[in-house]
């Protein structure tokens, strides 16, 4: 995480408007979603959207208006489902509305050749004595859980302030498949977060996108993270296939030639600057014939 911190710091020094000031917020809302787990993907993406309660309430009014205007009913909008015409038509308005949120959308794109970010050159060993309480997890699922919790704790450490409440909603996948796993996830998060942050919080609460009030208010906010995760995973995979992956923020590289229209549209949205919702994109790559990892920040440019 020190390397990631250094990369983000250099980016912030170059442009001081790329992270939000959330110091006045009483409550921070975090939603997270993930992409690239399907066969054929060479990169996984972990996307986090963090905002404050006040602008979330403004978003809430906008997203209800959008749902009514585009007649999408109670259908979930996701990256995978954009073949549905009504959902596809509504996406642009959802993304425009998200621009008004005060916060940041941060995406970590990780090379799937990397078995573990926590053990050198090998996957997590669930037989390790320290991991005995977590034997119900498959090694790959527990690795993903640790990545998600560490990434999220890292973001909170840089944006939170003493006394703030943190409400985190994660996509309901294997790391939070039932109530027992949500409780275990919450305990792991609290323990890891305490290693990143020295100040005290108000309330720390963790739930899934499934704990909704029936109007999809959490699902719709998480849609922004889902779209970012899906598009960035597709982009990185195609760069890898074409052997054109940019290794530095100072290298200008066109989009992959075979990228889908939906990914291109979302990536253009991610490239927007001078809006309330900031964007940061971190690429974590394996290095050939080495246990070292390469971390770069990618800066997208619209066009």
Q: What are phi and psi of 199, to 5 degrees?
A: -85, 165
State in Å, rounded, how far the first CA of the chain is from the last one: 32
Distance, in Å, from the CA atom of 281 to the CA atom of 279, rounded to the nearest integer, reads 7
**Residue 267: per-residue pLDDT:** 94
Distance, in Å, from the CA atom of 49 to the CA atom of 38, rounded to the nearest integer, reads 22
How many helices (H) and strands (E) are present in the chain, helices listed first? 7, 7
Question: One digit per residue, pLDDT tens: the chain, 303 residues?
Answer: 555 555 554 554 455 567 899 999 999 999 999 999 888 999 999 999 999 998 988 899 999 999 999 998 888 889 998 887 888 889 999 999 999 999 999 999 999 999 999 887 678 888 888 888 898 899 999 999 999 999 999 999 999 999 999 999 998 788 988 899 999 999 999 999 999 998 999 999 999 988 878 889 999 999 999 999 999 999 999 999 998 887 665 556 788 989 999 999 999 999 998 899 999 999 999 877 667 788 888 888 765
User: Kind and range of the H or E element at 103?
Assistant: strand 103-111
Adjacent-strand bridge partners of 294: 285
**Residue 13: per-residue pLDDT:** 45
Among 218, 138, 184, 173, which Cα is nearest to 44's? 173
Query: What is each CA distance from 73 to 55, 68, 86, 226, 272, in whole angstroms?
Result: 24, 7, 10, 19, 29
DSSP secondary structure letters along 275-298: SSEEEEEEEEEE-TTSS-EEEEE-
């Amino acid at each position: 995480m020190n390397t990631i911190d250094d990369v983000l710091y250099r980016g912030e020094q170059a442009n001081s408007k790329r992270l939000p000031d959330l110091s006045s917020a009483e409550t921070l809302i975090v939603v997270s979603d993930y992409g690239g787990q399907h066969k054929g993907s060479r990169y996984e993406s972990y996307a986090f959207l963090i905002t404050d309660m006040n602008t979330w309430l403004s978003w809430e009014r906008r997203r209800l208006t959008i749902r009514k205007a585009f007649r999408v009913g109670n259908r979930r909008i996701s990256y995978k489902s954009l073949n549905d015409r009504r959902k596809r038509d509504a996406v642009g308005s959802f993304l425009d509305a998200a621009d008004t949120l005060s916060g940041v959308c941060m995406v970590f794109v990780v090379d799937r050749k990397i078995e573990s970010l926590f053990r050198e050159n090998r996957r997590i060993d669930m037989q390790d004595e320290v991991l005995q309480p977590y034997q119900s997890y498959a090694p790959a699922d527990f690795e993903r859980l640790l990545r998600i919790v560490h990434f999220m704790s890292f973001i909170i450490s840089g944006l939170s302030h003493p006394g703030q409440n943190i409400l985190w909603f994660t996509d309901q996948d294997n790391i939070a498949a039932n109530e027992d796993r949500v409780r275990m996830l919450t305990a792991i998060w609290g323990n890891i977060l305490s290693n990143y942050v020295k100040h005290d919080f108000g309330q720390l609460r963790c739930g899934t996108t499934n704990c909704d009030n029936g109007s999809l208010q959490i699902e719709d906010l998480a849609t922004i993270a889902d779209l970012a995760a899906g598009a960035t995973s597709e982009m990185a995979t195609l760069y890898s296939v074409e052997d054109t992956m940019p290794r530095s923020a100072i290298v200008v590289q066109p989009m992959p030639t075979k990228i889908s229209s939906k990914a291109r549209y979302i990536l253009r949205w991610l490239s927007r600057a001078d809006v309330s919702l900031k964007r940061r994109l971190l690429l974590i790559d394996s290095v050939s014939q080495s246990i070292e990892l390469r971390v770069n920040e990618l800066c997208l440019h619209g066009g």
